[in-house]
Amino acid sequence: MSGPATDIPVIADDAVESWGRVHRGRHQVAIPRSPEQIPVAVSASSALSGSTLAFGLGRAYGDSPLNLGGGLVKTTGMDRFLAFDRATGLLRAEAGVSLDALLRVAVPSGWFVPVTPGSKFVTLAGAVANDVHGKNHHGVGCFGRHVRQFGLWRSDRGALVCGPEENPDLFAATIGGLGLTGIIQWVEVQLAPIGSAEMDVETERFDSLADFFALSEEDAEWPYTVAWVDTLASGENLGRGVFSRGRHAADGARRPHKPGGPRVPVTPPGFLLNRWTVGAFNQLYYRKPGSSFRGRQHYDPFFYPLDRIRNWNRLYGPHGFYQWQCVVPPEDARTVIAELLGRIVLSGEASFLAVLKTFGDIASPGLLSFPMAGPTLALDFPNRGLRTLALLDALDRVVVEAGGRIYPAKDGRMASATFQSGFSNWRELEALRDPLLISSFWRRVTGIDSAPSGEA
């Protein structure tokens, strides 16, 4: 039940951190329990600093969900399902509903989230704000393509409905807009039909980067494809890894995933993840019997392997880690990806979770959507200070020179020139930014503080 519009819990000076655990700090936090409470929550959270920002389940790796020294509006209290047509798969829910909760409702009825990132612990509003992509981008594009409309509250205009025909400028700016255009109240999304909770899955080892590109071209008809890459392999084995492809099974039980799983109880010392331990893991993962597999698998381990270990981000030690993801145009992609992997090998920095896949040429309605046609490489590096930052800066330069871009939702350190090179239309988003909303990321990459749009 929703409380009165003024019944907003406010936590003064609450410590909030990103999933990468590099960025953390104090915020004035308010938690609305219904969309009607958003105005009071915004007012309460921004009272001291003059700015606030929506915050969901906190799975963004960098500083895009943070407003260090300012306010946050935590949307997870708005978690009600509003409508679900089980005949058509059209679902409407409040902004704080997670993909985890959505799948528990949708899968038994024969529906699945149309696009999913690598974690189900993200909110619907977060999926919109970051225009998340998944293993099926080459076939269906980003999450935003499947959003029919959403409610948006702005401090200067109140509650609005946004869709392709109604407030289309805000519809486009909010999809991939990093939460800067207003507080999302609810989302209406078209789900995808499935016959089973099981997946038909094939995995196979490949020995080089050339083999990856050959497999990607051969397997374009598979709905879901992705590869894990051994970033410590070099020479003729540069870019070797394990290629996975899958599709929803035509029939079978529609059992949703089970909750729970083991938890990382404490933060271990940072030195446990190093070139040697990661190298040993990579060898075992590459050669394990399951790396060549054909059969059925539940959707949960196929889409969300990391979700099985709660608080897995603690494994990187007390200094946290950096996630880095790029996309480069297809013209010189093989040379560019090879150069990126080669630089990582030479640096001695080991990426524990390296993912390589190919985006399709399917445009998003989002103004600042990240994907474009070409391969995308996602990496993670334990935070070792200046040497890690120096490597990431070097990788950025390779990507910018190739005409690519870096994913803002995972970034916590790229230079403003790097961001503006990849997203030359960022000023269009700034023109539509809500006057009270800003993030630490947006300040860093644009040089704009919390002044109202158009006045900075």
HEC-encoded secondary structure of the chain: CCCCCCCCCEEEEEEEECCCCCCEEEEEEECCCCHHHHHHHHHHHHCCCCCECEECCCCCCCCCCCCCCCEEEEHHHCCCEEEEECCCCEEEEECCCEHHHHHHHHHHHCEECCCCCCCCCCEHHHHHHCCCCCCCHHHHCCHHHHEEEEEEEECCCEEEEECCCCCHHHHHHHCCCCCCCCEEEEEEEECEECCCCEEEEEEEEECCHHHHHHHHHHCCCCCEEEEEECCCCCHHHCCCEEEEEEEECCCCCCCCCCCCCCECCCCCCHHHCCHHHHHHHHHHHHHCHHHCEEEEEEHHHHHCHHHHCECHHHHHCCCCEEEEEEECCCCCHHHHHHHHHHHHHHHCCCCCCCEEEEECCCCCCCCCCCCCCEEEEEEEEECCCHHHHHHHHHHHHHHHHCCCEECHHHCCCCCHHHHHHHCCCHHHHHHHCCCCECCHHHHHHHCCCCCCCCCC
pLDDT (tens digit, 9 = 90+) per residue, 151-198?
999 999 999 999 999 999 999 999 999 999 999 999 999 999 999 999
Residue 452 pLDDT greater than 50, yes or no = no
pLDDT (tens digit, 9 = 90+) per residue, 80-89?
999 999 999 9
pLDDT confidence bin for 271, thresholds 50/70/90: low
| Selection from 97-111, 255-269, 309-323 with the highest mean pLDDT | 97-111
Q: Domains along the chain?
A: 198-252+268-413 (3.40.462.20)
pLDDT confidence bin for 450, thresholds 50/70/90: low
pLDDT (tens digit, 9 = 90+) per residue, 378-395?
999 999 999 999 999 999
pLDDT confidence bin for 2, thresholds 50/70/90: very low
pLDDT confidence bin for 13, thresholds 50/70/90: confident
What percent of the chain has pLDDT above 90? Answer: 82
Q: What is the pLDDT of residue 1?
A: 35
pLDDT confidence bin for 449, thresholds 50/70/90: confident
Q: What is the mean pLDDT of the chain?
A: 92
Mean pLDDT of 225-250: 94
pLDDT (tens digit, 9 = 90+) per residue, 25-37?
999 999 999 999 9
Mean pLDDT of 137-161: 98
pLDDT confidence bin for 276, thresholds 50/70/90: low
Q: Higher-confidence residue: 263 or 451?
A: 263
Mean pLDDT of 413-440: 98
Mean pLDDT of 198-208: 95
Residue 144 pLDDT greater than 60, yes or no = yes
110-119, 252-261, 282-291: lowest mean pLDDT where?
Answer: 282-291
Residue 5 pLDDT greater than 90, yes or no = no
Q: What is the pLDDT of residue 137?
A: 97
